[in-house]
Structure 1
Amino acid sequence: MKTRRLGPQGPSLSAIGLGCMGMSDFYTTGADEREAIATLHRALDLGISLFDTADVYGPHSNEALLGRALKGKREQVFLASKFGLVRTPEQPASRGANGRPEYVRQAIEGSLARLGTDHLDLYYLHRVDPQVPIEETVGAMAELVQAGKVRYLGLSEASAETLERAHRVHTISALQSEYSLWTRDPEENGVLAACRRLGVGFVPYSPLGRGFLTGALKSPADFAADDYRRFSPRFQGENFARNLALVDKVAELAAAKGVKPAQLALAWVLAQGEHLVPIPGTKQRKYLDENVAAVELSLSAAELAELDAIFPAGIAAGGRYSAEVMRLVQ
């Protein structure tokens, strides 16, 4: 496995990580825990070190799954979790943010217990709380570093301005945002530039467009009844058809190169900078193996330009989240 450094002063990690959310939540119910644990173990065998989870996935069940899977293997993993994005049992589709200092201290204890560890390697604020100054939230997170409960701090879906303010309180080692061929927002909103300037590692989540860039999805009917994507603007009606036409072009390029569309899409993300460590998610070993193979895939300048021409910034039809969820992206 090739390695990359999470920022100039950050830790050395596998060139791609593993997003674990879908093993427990959002894409379908009835998750196969046996296959999920086998996938986690296979990732370790392949040299993947960065595992990414959050307390909101489940809620809580994804952290508990990792805790069971990593028993006796904790030292092999750079373990990242997140807090601050809140769901309630009464309204599971609704989202809120909580960045209050007292909640920071409460959340870490729950995550450590579920993950069966005494520390996290990386702890993210999942969403910025608009009611709490970022300086207060990061100040409380910094106390966790001082207490030895967390090694590095990160932010998720934060603006360039918020990142700079947070970085003045304590070193932010990673910023996680959605980034892929069909989500180019970090290029346009200054986040990627801010990460380069500040020496912050950038962790793209959903680098395969929530599975859409794999070319395997042909109709909204492919989704289970409870699949989150049924309610996502990009996967509905005319938006689905327009986006599928773009993916078909990526699939043609992939076929000509003799690789999978997902591998081409991942290779494009990896080519955007050495400080990027994407975390494609999967819950099956066969797709994990395909994703890992993308690390060895080199794209020429002409191939990168062709992909950029197919998927220029802003071409994807539909918002990446509903209006309610997008209000938490700041």
Structure 2
Amino acid sequence: MERRKLGKAGPEVSAIGLGCMTMSPVYGQTLDEAEALATLGRALDLGVTFWDTADVYGMGHNEQLIGGFLKGRRDAVFLATKFGITRAGVNGDPAYVEQACDASLQRLGVEAIDLFYLHRAQPGRPIEETVEAMAKLVKAGKVRHLGLSEVSPQTLERACKVHQITAVQSEYSLWTRDPEAGVLEACERLGVGFVPYSPLGRGFLTGEIRSPDDFEEGDWRRGNPRFQGEAFARNLGLVDKVRALAEAKGVTPSQLALAWVMARNPHIVPIPGTRRRKYLEDNAGAVNVALSAAELAEIDAAFPPDLDAGQRYPDAMMGALNG
């Protein structure tokens, strides 16, 4: 597995990471814990050792699952988790920061978290307050690196004046180009790595979702604006473009989409999420896909930055993005 640095002077991690969220019943699926654990084991075999979780995934279940697996092999993985999204809303209160960290450490069964993200910036609270509290965790040895998720360039700049931010995590894919409006440039200028979540468009860019009925009952994507009505039909056309470009290249749609993300910058490390070994293996193969300048131009022509793929989240959740 190829390795990449998170930022110019940051830690080195596997060039493709593993988003672990769907190993908990977040998308409404029936949980197959045996397959989830087998997928974690296969990830180690493949060298996919940059793992991402959060305290809110399965309300602690996800961290417990990973923690149980890591007993006796903690050093094999660069472990990232997130805090700040609670049942009561976004919480970046300095008094809550250490409490959340301690709870994650206990569920994960580790002495230190490699990368600790603020999951969302709390509206109305200065980012400096939260990051200062997070920095104390580094001094205490509970956390090794700090990250932010879904923040604006201005918020990132202010945070870096308090403590070096190692990575920013935001949604980024062929159909979600928001970070190109300033966040990617800010990360490069400030020496911060960029970690795209949902680089496969929440599974849509794989080409395996052809109808809203393909989602299991209870899957929250059924209520996502991008998977409804005209937006769904329009986005199917985009998926067909991915499929055609991938076939011409002799790769899978997932590998093409991931290779495009990785080609944007050497400090970008996508974390496609899966709970199944076959998809993990397919995703890992993207490190072997090199895209020429002509191929990148062809992909960009098919997916221009101003492409309207539909709103990313329902209205109630949009306010927490790019905070």
Say whether 1:179 aligns with 2:181: no
Equivalents in 2 of 1:59, 1:158: separation in Å? 23
CA contact (8 A) 1:243 1:316 kept: no
The match for 1:135 is 128
Of residues 180, 194, 198, the one that matches 2:186 is 194
Q: Secondary structure at the match of 2:240?
A: helix
Equivalent residues in 2 for 1:305-320, closer than 5 Å: 305-320=297-312
Instruction: Find the counterpart in structure 2 of residue 52 from structure 1.
Output: 52
Gaps of 5+ in 2: none
Q: TM-score, normalised by structure 2?
A: 0.98
Corresponding residue SS for 1:82: strand
1:27 and 2:27 correspond: yes
The structure 1 residue matched to 2:163, chosen from 128, 152, 170, is 170
Of residues 83, 107, 111 in structure 2, which corresponds to 1:118?
111
The answer to whether the 8 A contact 1:183-1:314 is kept is no
* Cα 1:294/1:127, change in 2 over 3 Å: same
In structure 2, the residue matched to 1:241 is 233
Letter in 2 for 1:87: R
Counterpart CA distance in 2 for 1:288 and 1:56 is: 23
CA displacement 1:220-250 (0-9 Å, x = unmatched): 0100111111011001111000011011011
- Whole-angstrom distance in 2 between the partners of 1:283 and 1:28: 13
Matches within 5 A, 1:1-330: 1-87=1-87, 96-188=89-181, 190-329=182-321, 330=323
Write the distance in 1 (CA, Å) between the matches of 2:273 and 2:29: 16
Partner residue, 1:92: none
What's the offset of the Cα at 1:183?
Answer: 0.2
- Per the normalisation by structure 1, the TM-score is 0.96
Q: Tell me how far apart the structure 2 counterparts of residues 127 and 282 of structure 1 sit (CA, whole Å).
A: 22
Distance 1:61 1:307 in 2: 38
Aligned residues: 322
CA contact (8 A) 2:255 2:286 kept: yes
Spell out structure 1 runs of 4+ moving beyond 2 A. none
- How far residue 87 of structure 1 moved from its aligned partner, in angstroms, is 2.6
Give the letter aligned to residue 106 of structure 1.
Q
The percentage of aligned residue pairs carrying the same residue is 65
**Deviation digits for residues 261-320 of structure 1, max 9, x if unmatched?**
011000000100001000000000000000000111001111111111111113133101
AA in 2 matched with 1:256: A
Q: Report deviation, 1:26.
A: 2.3
Cα distance, 1:85 vs structure 2: 1.1
Secondary structure of 1:169's partner?
Answer: coil
Query: Contact 1:19/1:52 (CA < 8 Å) preserved in 2?
Result: yes
- Which deviates more from structure 2 when the two are superposed, residues 115-124 or residues 316-325? 316-325
- 8 Å CA contact 1:59–1:87 kept in 2: the answer is no
Contact 2:3 2:14 in 1 (8 A): yes
- Provide the alpha-carbon RMSD of the alignment: 0.9
Residue 29 of structure 1 and its aligned partner are, at CA, apart by: 3.1
Residue 177 of structure 1, CA deviation: 0.3
Counterpart residue type for residue 240 of structure 2: D
